[in-house]
Structure 1
Amino acid sequence: MFQPNTFESHHMFDMTRRSSESDLGKLKEDDYETKSGTETTEMEAPSGDDQDPSQHPKRKRYHRHTQRQIQEMEAFFKECPHPDDKQRKELSRELGLEPLQVKFWFQNKRTQMKAQHERHENQILKAENEKLRAENNRYKEALGNATCPNCGGPAALGEMSFDEQHLRIENARLREEIDRISGIAAKYVGKPLSSFPHLTPRSLDLGFTNLGTQSGFVGEMYGGCDLIRSISGPSEADKPMIVELAVAAMEEFLRMAQAGDPLWTDQVLNEDEYLRTFPRGIGPLALRSEASRESTVVIMNHVNLVEILMDVNQWSSVFCGIVSRAMTIEVLSTGVAGNYNGALQVMTAEFQVPSPLVPTRENYFVRYCKQHSDGTWAVVDVSLDNLRPSPISKCRRRPSGCLIQELPNGYSKVIWVEHVEVDDRSVHNIYKPLVNSGLAFGAKRWVATLDRQCERLASSMANNIPAGDLCVITSPEGRKSMLKLAERMVTSFCTGVGASTAHAWTTLSATGSDDVRVMTRKSMDDPGRPPGIVLSAATSFWIPVPPRRIFDFLRDENSRSEWDILSNGGLVQEMAHIANGRDPGNCVSLLRVNSANSSQSNMLVLQESCTDSTGSYVIYAPVDIVAMNMVLSGGDPDYVALLPSGFAILPDGPGLNGGGILEVGSGGSLLTVAFQILVDSVPTAKLSLGSVATVNSLIKCTVERIKAAVMTDNASCR
């Protein structure tokens, strides 16, 4: 019989039944089987009740496929692992095989690839398990032995190793979260948290893996930083409901995207008209409705746009300033006809504003892609909270997404709709005008980001080198490598500047001042980061200066010495400049800092600045001269270690002009400043409070310098 786990890598066999009767000219499906092994002849007899004593056992003969047949089917398998009947018949005619032989070869090949993939995954999981087991033992040993040499009590922060400190801080944070949830649970279900034994504080001492892994209530209630890690795929019983929900969401989205007045008035949704058009149940009273619609024309063809939206890695990368993390939980359908038409994916994602003062929004949803009869593509998301009801869900996606229409010359028209229900009461006061206006998470920000990223991608694919790049960039390959390195720098900055706590960072909530968030992490095996203990500090504040003026000041190398403490007042020279958008502020630069300090002399800085109507970034990182020369010659930039720092600049409201009134929402800026500092190159080193204080001082001094410079400049321009 067929045994799927006994394959040889490149040898397939077909098996035909021998018969002395000449009238058996037709081949039946059960007459063929492919099997690996040596070329041999064996007997196969029926077993059990099916055995007929009057019949002789069937003799089967194994034939090895020719090398040409194997090569042709291998090549076809790479392009199409699931050929249909027509493709199998055509392939069998070309190779001189029966269609059933081709069918069974592909069945066995798929089983072989699946078995190899599972073995590889098992090896990875086994190694990861051993690593986690060893790390857990180190934690237990460290906690058992950590004492103060003076008093014999528990060690203070400055005397702990990084691992000990990480565990204690995480434990304290989880205890605070449990206390908060206990109050909410008592309010909604009338029971204290002790009624749920798997959520008692004692479980935190035994291990963190129990959190967010229980069914239903626990996974949703815990939300926060464990939502994405805790949610499992939908059950078989849920899948038909998910399909129905996706189809209904697509219908609603299309009407929302294409409707005019009275549903939309100046791109503002009429809530009363919406409820009349799309009747629905009453949701939690604490959730505020937020809806927006925006359209634009982008320099990208419709096929590539659909691929970006349906590939979670590309989607997260293109919208890294908005999507702080995302994951595809399960693919319910890959689509038909070799594209994403009809594709269904159950996903989780966390959306952010580049500031630690704005909580992230987590969603569990299904994404549905469909090509319509007129050729347009639609990609729609809708939350699956109805399958996992939770009384404290803080964000729910109503049908949202984009409609993509093909235009000539590789352009596309995009209509984007964002429609959510959200509890945003914990947003900091200075960000409330921006969030309430819909600019923080709305359609305008998605569309502006997409338009800017399409321009950037078009620039990275260009083969011509403008004259301004010729000073140090001598080839198209070097230009692409530099842009790729800058892209990784921007993504790394965005994942550390927001309020998400799901990344490798540990928030030191008990240190620093109230207005500066300090985080730490241990970097060991990532070739894209220097090894050691890294501290990150971020703060956000309002400043009564227009965003464009702050952006131009921070990106200008001539004014860098006014705020950059590390440049030490030295001359900053731009060595290379790559424009990647219509706006002159959208560019990647390589700067040389000629500092009076000999230890920082001739330091190189990679910088990317980008701006659109919804926000701006100036992000930079010191780079090693030898590594940068390798990148400029077209080498792989993934192994260049970076610790990006920089600025995120947002408008303080929906474009108001207060005529000089100095208050939030009058046309000022919301500025986030973030630094990453390598405090020790040894990952096992102890973290001292002095390092935290140094980073705090650095960021506060920089903030004061920026305020002094731009406020003086702003006053002189009035």
Structure 2
Amino acid sequence: MDSGDEPEGSNNNQHQRKQYHRHTPHQIQQLEAMFKECPHPDENQRAALARELDLEPQQIKFWFQNRRTQMKAQHERASNSFLRMENDKIRCENVTMREALKNVICPNCVGQPVTDYFDAQKLRMENTQLKEELDRMSSITSKYLGRPFTQAPAVLPTSVPSLDLSVGGGLGGGPSLDLELLSGCSSGMLPPVTKMERPMMVDLAARAMDELIRLAQAGRQLWVKGVPGDAPETLNVAAYDSLFTAPGGAFRPPDISVEGSRDSGLVFMSAVALVDVFMDTNKWTEFFPGIVSKAHTGDVLMSGLCGRSESLIMMYEELHVVTPVVPTREFSFLRYCKQIEQGLWAVADVSPDGLRDVPYGTPPRSRRLPSGCLIADMSNGYSKVTWVEHMEIEQTLPISALYRNLVLSGAAFGAHRWLAALQRACERVASLAMLGAPHHDLAGAGVTPEGQRSTMKLSQQMVGLFCASLSSSPLQRWVLLPGTTDVSIRVAAQRSAEPGQPNGVVLTAATSIWLPVPANHAFAFLRDESARSQWDILAHANQVQEVLRIPNGSNPDNCVSVLRGTMTDANQDGMLILQESCTDASGSSLVVYSPIDLLTANVVMSGEDASGIPLLPSGFAILPDARPGSGAGAPSSSSGGPLGTISPGCVVAVAFQILVSSLPSSRVDAESMATVTGLIGTTVQQIKAALNCAGP
């Protein structure tokens, strides 16, 4: 093909695609009228309608497909809303009945409430009624899904009315929090892949693999370098559409944005071990707690050799930024692993939305386009990873102004952040495997490598709980407290159900603030034990001493520490602080800590299994603000910058957790609310004062 003809043809294709998007009101009216009469027109009907409306048959086909998906989504939401209303009605009736029975007294029992007779029979009736209601709603929903319905999608309304947190009256007419909605919830239940769908999905995964390899190896015709000093590359969407999309096939509504980025680097882990991480959703979540809030395997389409080469799974994933004010991204996608040649592996992801006429994800039109990783084994224990991120996103929920630049620029979920997090996680794994000389514990005896490993595993559990507690998933109901302090505080309460959490009701309070200092400066200040007394009100202005330090990476600031106050009250001298500090090349940092008693600390450092130890993690999640001109992501100077540039800043999420009660049936009281509100407000003020940050 003559290379000189390509730009002209490419421009013509782009001009045609722009025209294909703009249907006239007359065309839309005619399409809607046809849809009411025949939602599934055949090829002849589509051709006739295309001639009548001066459109291409393929445009007609795509319009009807999108319209059917939209209708099914509307019907599904209506069914889910009706089901929730029915369940809420039954729940209210149950609560009313319980309260009434508490006040009913039997004359022959001298003050004993009449409950024994009702309890067993009432529970049976409730169970029968709920099962009948679920069966009826399942039957209705299955008509719209077109397949047997297994479980209603656990999607809560995005607009939640204010709820009263002060049950029993402490904060007066404030909002309330219904804990019944926060226990035992799960999302992302995937319908099983049918026999008819399986060959189509295998073919889709193979095509996605081919496209991933081309994207990973492509040059400047597809990828655009950023400003000098920025490693990641961004995708040229117009060039991608012209190369990978059939003429007239790139129909993208204006409310859909494309995020495409590529980055490469060395990772301290073998290619085979990395493939195991990618194909195991438990390891996948452990490696990326700051990006992946939850993940699970929906179906295994091909098991492959040792679960690696030629493996194909259907995977669900929820991505988040560690803050309540950025909406999560949910995807269902195929993950295909293949060994290309000796020492070279590829893992490709792609959403099967076009094959399954079921709205996946939230928002429903967000999906993964062919993307993934090329992993090349090196001879020195390292692997070279080329990471490609490519997705279409429909932003339907508001994003806090503090994080808007970070998210809309693509940096929040881009290839550079994924690769940096992978490099840090692999260094942590290597440090765990190569623990050496004993340290000294509180009593002066040596902490064995087994004790260090146990401490690092407990700390990893702590970090995972902290990141998950700040998810903005629809199942995590956050309530904004009105007018409590000069910062916007959100709270959420839940009955603890995860391993490592204390039994009972846990209250989480969080806020996000902007600081006019680079992210690495904020991280250095918050992780420094000598500066802790400046912001930690629980330290009572006393110095904190590091009694154990376990490095977990090449960066000396990445470590697990055990801290103790040098001067404490008699009632507090048995408490320590377990803390993990970690940062990566993207500027993303975490400082997470939890109180731990002396007896438990010695048990852990002796090498005992720490998985069952309950923790209440608090801490900070730090990210560059990614403002244009701020130099976020690049090395920052100690003060200011050239004229015309914006001083680098960062966004810090601050969170505290307290145990309200060890009884799962307890409700949040005013004292607990006042405690976390005071902790948040005072901590933020002291951090700003210590860093000389004026203003709110």
Q: Considering the TM-score relative to the shorter chain, is it more than 0.5?
A: yes
- Aligned partners of 1:518, 1:644: CA distance in 2, in Å? 15
Q: Is 1:415 aligned to residue 381 of structure 2?
A: no
Q: Partner residue of 2:678?
A: 697
Deviation at 1:675, TM superposition (A): 0.6
1:405 partner letter: A
Q: Is 1:361 aligned to residue 329 of structure 2?
A: yes
- Aligned partners of 1:427, 1:205: CA distance in 2, in Å? 40
Deviation at 1:662, TM superposition (A): 13
2:377 partner letter: E
Deviation at 1:236, TM superposition (A): 2.0
Q: Partner residue of 1:493?
A: 466
Q: Partner residue of 2:240?
A: 274
Deviation at 1:529, TM superposition (A): 2.1
2:338 partner letter: K
Q: Partner residue of 2:511?
A: 539
Deviation at 1:339, TM superposition (A): 4.4
- Aligned partners of 1:439, 1:210: CA distance in 2, in Å? 41
Of residues 685-694 and 137-146 in structure 1, the stretch that sits farther from structure 2 once superposed is 137-146
Deviation at 1:206, TM superposition (A): 6.4
- Equivalent residue runs for 1:619-698 within 5 Å: 619-653=592-626, 656-657=629-630, 659=640, 666-698=647-679
Q: Partner residue of 1:350?
A: 318
Query: Structure 1 pair 510/622, CA: closer, same or farther in 2 (3 Å)?
Result: closer
1:533, 1:678 within 8 Å by CA — same for their partners in 2? yes
Query: Structure 1 pair 670/147, CA: closer, same or farther in 2 (3 Å)?
Result: farther
1:393 partner letter: P
Deviation at 1:467, TM superposition (A): 5.9
- Equivalent residue runs for 1:242-281 within 5 Å: 242-266=201-225, 267-279=233-245, 280-281=249-250
SS in 1 for 2:571: helix
Q: Determine which of 309, 325, 332 is the counterpart of 2:301.
A: 332
Q: Partner residue of 1:5?
A: none
Query: Structure 1 pair 655/689, CA: closer, same or farther in 2 (3 Å)?
Result: same
Q: Is 1:464 aligned to residue 436 of structure 2?
A: yes
Q: Determine which of 422, 441, 450 is the counterpart of 1:477.
A: 450
- Aligned partners of 1:367, 1:295: CA distance in 2, in Å? 20
Deviation at 1:388, TM superposition (A): 3.0
- Equivalent residue runs for 1:466-615 within 5 Å: 473-502=446-475, 506-508=477-479, 515-523=488-496, 528-614=500-586, 615=588
Deviation at 1:141, TM superposition (A): 3.6
Query: Structure 1 pair 647/634, CA: closer, same or farther in 2 (3 Å)?
Result: same
- Aligned partners of 1:516, 1:688: CA distance in 2, in Å? 17
1:593, 1:602 within 8 Å by CA — same for their partners in 2? no
Deviation at 1:506, TM superposition (A): 4.7
Query: Structure 1 pair 519/713, CA: closer, same or farther in 2 (3 Å)?
Result: closer
- Aligned partners of 1:591, 1:139: CA distance in 2, in Å? 47
Gaps of 5+ in 1: 1-135, 151-202
2:515, 2:693 within 8 Å by CA — same for their partners in 1? no
SS in 2 for 1:440: coil
Deviation at 1:268, TM superposition (A): 2.0
Q: Is 1:318 aligned to residue 247 of structure 2?
A: no
- Equivalent residue runs for 1:121-200 within 5 Å: 141-146=94-99
1:515 partner letter: S
Q: Deviations over 1:363-383 (max 9, x none)?
A: 011100011135410001111
Computed over aligned residues only, the root mean square deviation of the Cα atoms, in angstroms, reads: 3.5
Q: Deviations over 1:489-529 (max 9, x none)?
A: 01011101121243xx5534577868222011123x76622
Deviation at 1:213, TM superposition (A): 6.7
1:449 partner letter: A
Identity percentage of aligned residues: 43
SS in 2 for 1:637: coil
Query: Structure 1 pair 499/333, CA: closer, same or farther in 2 (3 Å)?
Result: same
1:402, 1:416 within 8 Å by CA — same for their partners in 2? yes
Of residues 547-556 and 212-221 in structure 1, the stretch that sits farther from structure 2 once superposed is 212-221
1:456, 1:581 within 8 Å by CA — same for their partners in 2? yes
1:301, 1:410 within 8 Å by CA — same for their partners in 2? yes
Q: Is 1:302 aligned to residue 271 of structure 2?
A: yes
Query: Structure 1 pair 140/207, CA: closer, same or farther in 2 (3 Å)?
Result: farther
Query: Structure 1 pair 655/303, CA: closer, same or farther in 2 (3 Å)?
Result: farther
1:142 partner letter: V
Query: Structure 1 pair 137/657, CA: closer, same or farther in 2 (3 Å)?
Result: closer
Q: Determine which of 201, 204, 216 is the counterpart of 2:145.
A: 216
Deviation at 1:254, TM superposition (A): 0.5
Deviation at 1:657, TM superposition (A): 3.4
- Aligned partners of 2:135, 2:490: CA distance in 1, in Å? 24
Q: Partner residue of 2:4?
A: none
- Aligned partners of 1:662, 1:224: CA distance in 2, in Å? 47
- Aligned partners of 2:626, 2:645: CA distance in 1, in Å? 8
Query: Structure 1 pair 645/249, CA: closer, same or farther in 2 (3 Å)?
Result: same
Q: Determine which of 261, 266, 270 is the counterpart of 1:292.
A: 261
Q: Is 1:435 aligned to residue 394 of structure 2?
A: no
Q: Deviations over 1:349-404 (max 9, x none)?
A: 10011111110000011100011135410001111221235496242111111110
2:267 partner letter: V
- Aligned partners of 1:664, 1:519: CA distance in 2, in Å? 39
2:590 partner letter: Y
- Aligned partners of 2:188, 2:676: CA distance in 1, in Å? 31
- Aligned partners of 1:250, 1:400: CA distance in 2, in Å? 8
1:590, 1:605 within 8 Å by CA — same for their partners in 2? yes
- Aligned partners of 2:621, 2:372: CA distance in 1, in Å? 25
- Equivalent residue runs for 1:96-107 within 5 Å: none
Deviation at 1:231, TM superposition (A): 2.7
1:331 partner letter: V
Q: Deviations over 1:183-234 (max 9, x none)?
A: xxxxxxxxxxxxxxxxxxxx99967995997453997895989894443122
Query: Structure 1 pair 228/526, CA: closer, same or farther in 2 (3 Å)?
Result: closer
TM-score with structure 2 setting the length = 0.69
1:623, 1:641 within 8 Å by CA — same for their partners in 2? no
SS in 2 for 1:354: coil
Q: How many residues align?
A: 524
Q: Deviations over 1:96-140 (max 9, x none)?
A: xxxxxxxxxxxxxxxxxxxxxxxxxxxxxxxxxxxxxxxx99986
1:376, 1:404 within 8 Å by CA — same for their partners in 2? yes
- Aligned partners of 1:311, 1:378: CA distance in 2, in Å? 15
2:440, 2:447 within 8 Å by CA — same for their partners in 1? no
- Aligned partners of 1:260, 1:147: CA distance in 2, in Å? 73
Deviation at 1:625, TM superposition (A): 1.2
Gaps of 5+ in 2: 1-88, 104-129, 159-184, 226-232, 632-639
- Aligned partners of 1:664, 1:209: CA distance in 2, in Å? 62
Query: Structure 1 pair 459/328, CA: closer, same or farther in 2 (3 Å)?
Result: same
TM-score with structure 1 setting the length = 0.67
1:261 partner letter: R
- Aligned partners of 1:221, 1:522: CA distance in 2, in Å? 18
- Aligned partners of 1:271, 1:465: CA distance in 2, in Å? 52
Deviation at 1:423, TM superposition (A): 2.1
1:521 partner letter: Q
SS in 1 for 2:391: strand
2:549, 2:560 within 8 Å by CA — same for their partners in 1? yes
